[in-house]
Amino acid sequence: MQFVSASLYSLGHGGNDAQKTMGIIAVLLFSQGYLGAEFSVPFWVVISCQSAMALGTLFGGWRIVHTMGSKITRLNPMQGFCAETGGAITLFAATWLGIPVSTTHTITGAIIGVGAARRVSAVRWGLAGNIVIAWFITLPAAALISAITFFLSGLL
């Protein structure tokens, strides 16, 4: 059952996160006239985004999986199934509604929910708090780095 739930969660992850990236790249190409008069997402954009997600998961995703699966709370296979199924349902619903969501946020909430359902003290709330703080820092940090990159690209 956990294999099926993990597969569904992965499908939801690709359906939501990869689609956001593909959309952004395609809109940029269209706005610059590279797609002609009709909007479409080129196949090479699809393959590039899927490859980037796969490589990112392969080389860096293991750290996130390790933190989510064993550091926030200990999960047995049934709890993992419940967390993945809840996360997958959330991702499918968000994708169907056209709402971009973070898969990391989704699975973190599901894991915390499963751990807290067992008992509230089973969740390492300090680590969960640090993850939330990192999420809030990410947005302004990305904005700052983008602004610096934009400024530097104007100098070249």
Question: Tell me: the pLDDT tens digits for 77-123?
Answer: 899 999 999 999 999 999 889 888 888 889 899 999 999 999 999 99
Best CA proximity match to 65, nearest among 20, 118, 9, 130: 9
pLDDT for the residue 133 = 92
pLDDT mean over 55-63: 78
Q: Where are the domains of the chain?
A: 2-123
pLDDT for the residue 51 = 86
4-36 pLDDT per residue, tens: 998 898 888 877 877 888 889 999 999 999 998
Q: Residue 41's pLDDT band (boundaries 50, 70, 90)?
A: very high
User: Do 13 and 92 meet the contact criterion of CB atoms below 8 Å apart?
Assistant: no
Residue 128: which H helix or E strand, with range? helix 125-155
57 burial via Cβ count (<10 Å: 0-12, 13-18, 19+): middle
One-character DSSP codes across 106-126: HHHHHHHHHHHHH-GGGS-HH
In single-letter form, the type of residue at position 120 comes to V
pLDDT for the residue 146 = 94
pTM: 0.76
